[in-house]
Amino acid sequence: MSEEEKKKLEAQLWKIANELRGKMDADEFRDYILGFIFYKYLSEKQYLYANELLQGEAVTDYAQVTQLEDIAAIEQESLEKLGYFLPPQELFSAITKKGNIKIEDGEEAASNFILDDLERILTNIENSTMGTESEDDFNALFEDIDLASTKLGRTPDARNNLIAKVLAHLDAIDFELGKGTADVLGDAYEYLIAQFASGAGKKAGEFYTPQQVSKILAKLVTLDKQQIRSAYDPTCGSGSLLLRISREADVAEYYGQELNRTTYNLARMNMILHDVHFSRFDIRQEDTLEEPQHLDQRFEAIVANPPFSAKWKGKDNPLNETDDRFSQYGALAPSSKADFAFVQHMIHQLAENGTAAIVMPHGALFRGGAEGTIRQYIIRDLNYLDAVIGLPANLFYGTGIPACILVLKKCRVHSENIFFIDASAEFEKIGNQNALTDAHVAKIISTYAARQNVEKYAHAANMAEIAENDFNLNIPRYVDTFVEEAEIDLAAVTAELKALETDMAKTDATIRGFCGELGIASPF
């Protein structure tokens, strides 16, 4: 699929999304449209795989299969290969056909009521996985699609007509999965997630990391690597950060945890829709700091954009004092700011040969108290902090504050210094947001890789310099971006003032002459 065709697909999907936009908030209609796209994807995937199994049989079109023994055989194979099963009568095209709405003629009324059937189908997809290896990945996956919500319409018929119309629009789009374009559809899905985040403020934007920031994190954790054994995001949101790593290296397994139930569902959909087999990802829903789900594992690549300065239980939970993740640092992160609690968690999960790239608010670089104690321990005692990268303000949806990236490694090559990059002044303005271009990303990564001082942009600070600053990592302490004003030539300024006085005297004399000719008093 060409770039032009990809853009067309994105535009088509966004147009369909807006069929629902007038009915509800962005974060609400997001769940419906992304859920329906995912259902269509599963349906087309099932259809194509079943047709492969039917080659050489009397009936080779899965949609036309009626023999129960054939369907049972396809179900068994599908559960092993795909992780789920859809019988012919529950395919996306079948339910859309039953709705029988004529979108090309501008008709709004569906001929049949399909909401009950649709709800049953979505439940059946989840139930088909029960007792199989994929059960956890599909459990309650469609729970956020409430077909009885009055936000879809005040009456059942109104809701039915709207959903039938949206399904019909989606059915008219060929995802072309048979041509190996899963990545293209995945990109379109990511595009929609980004659109929802940019248009809905903090509530819908909190789960999304801007694409260019994701690219930086992915490149940092895969530098000089072609393969990654395991990638992990403890605050994975929609899963976009994890999936971005696969653009830079082959990833064997993905792991993630997400607190928000709706976003957790979205992350699992996102993984499957990007053609990541259910056996290769493990996304779980729970509070990472209080109920970590992968604590016995270590990961080669860790990326994260934790919620800035979130609250956590800290000292209010006595177990945190003895938790291996936090106990050695001499202090617990304050309950009002969990930033360093997340950093400590990720250090605990990081493999000896791994790299972690973590987005943090700038305050984490210089705040004192318990955070200062933890920061000092990471730098002086563990020597895990490899780099600090300052980003422009107003990059992230829902907050305008500037952020930075901490790069951590347990086995550092450059253990004698910490590398600072100040990229805060280089960005492109797009509407109300600032954005990074590919050139900005490339400059950050190439500078980090070279690890050479760049005037007013990058500096390798040795440990003595860090200690002299009392382990304060505020970037301007290490990268001097001050631009001196041009020297003022006092003699030239004096000569210019004298010339102005002469000109003013001449002008005053001219005015006095005019006043004399007019017979009026001169103002001078």
> What is the pLDDT, as a whole number, of residue 201?
47
What is the spatial distance between Cα 173 and Cα 171, in angstroms, rounded to a whole number? Answer: 5
Task: Quickly list DSSP for 326-371.
Answer: TGGGSSPPPTT--HHHHHHHHHHHEEEEEEEEEEEETHHHH--HHH
> What is the pLDDT, as a whole number, of residue 281?
97
CA-nearest of 199, 202, 230, 231 to 217 is 231
> What is the pLDDT, as a whole number, of residue 399?
75
> What is the pLDDT, as a whole number, of residue 203?
43
> What is the pLDDT, as a whole number, of residue 483?
55
> What is the pLDDT, as a whole number, of residue 14?
84
Residues of the chain with pLDDT under 70: 1-2, 19-27, 102-110, 180-183, 198-207, 398, 482-486, 524
Number of neighbours of residue 324 by Cβ within 10 angstroms: 9
> What is the pLDDT, as a whole number, of residue 401?
84
Q: What share of the chain is helix, strand, coil (3-state, %, to 5)?
A: 50, 15, 35
Q: How far is CA 236 from CA 11, 214, 264, 288, 304, in A?
A: 26, 12, 8, 10, 7
Domains detected in the chain: 3-202 (1.20.1260.30), 215-477 (3.40.50.150), 488-524 (no CATH)
> What is the pLDDT, as a whole number, of residue 111?
73
* Sign, CA torsion 10/15/19/24: positive
The partner residues of 302 in beta bridges, in order of sequence, read 232, 356
pTM assigned to the model? 0.87
Only one residue has tokens 């670089």, namely 365
